Amino acid sequence: MSLPLGARIAAARASIAGRAGAPVAVGLVLGSGLGALAERMRGAVAIPYGEIAGMPVSTAPGHAGQLLLGELFGTRCALMQGRLHLYEGWAAADIALPIYLLKALGARSLVVTNAAGALNPAFAPGEVMLIEDHINLTGANPLTGPNDESVGLRFPDMSRAYDPELRARAKEISLRHNFALKSGIYAGICGPSLETSAERRFLRAAGGDAVGMSTVIEVIAAAHCGLRVLGFSAITNAAAGGPDQQPDTIEEVLENAAVAGLKMAALLEELVPRL
Tens digit of each residue's pLDDT (9 = 90 or more) over 90-138: 999 999 999 999 999 999 999 999 999 999 999 999 999 999 999 999 9
Q: What is the pLDDT of residue 1?
A: 45
Longest dimension (CA), the chain: 56
pLDDT digits (tens, 9 = 90+) for 174-204: 998 888 899 999 999 999 999 999 999 999 9
What is the topology classification, in CATH, of domain 5-274? Answer: Rossmann fold (3.40.50)
Say what the pTM is.
0.94
d(CA 252, CA 130): 21
Choice between 255 and 203, residue whose per-residue pLDDT is larger: 203
Any idea where the domains of the chain sit in the sequence? 5-274
Do the bridges between strand 228-238 and strand 128-136 make them parallel or antiparallel, or are there none, so unpaired?
A: antiparallel
Q: What percent of the chain has pLDDT over 90?
A: 76
User: Does the structure show a pLDDT above 70 at 157?
Assistant: yes
Helices (H), the chain: 5-15, 17-20, 92-104, 164-176, 197-205, 216-225, 250-271
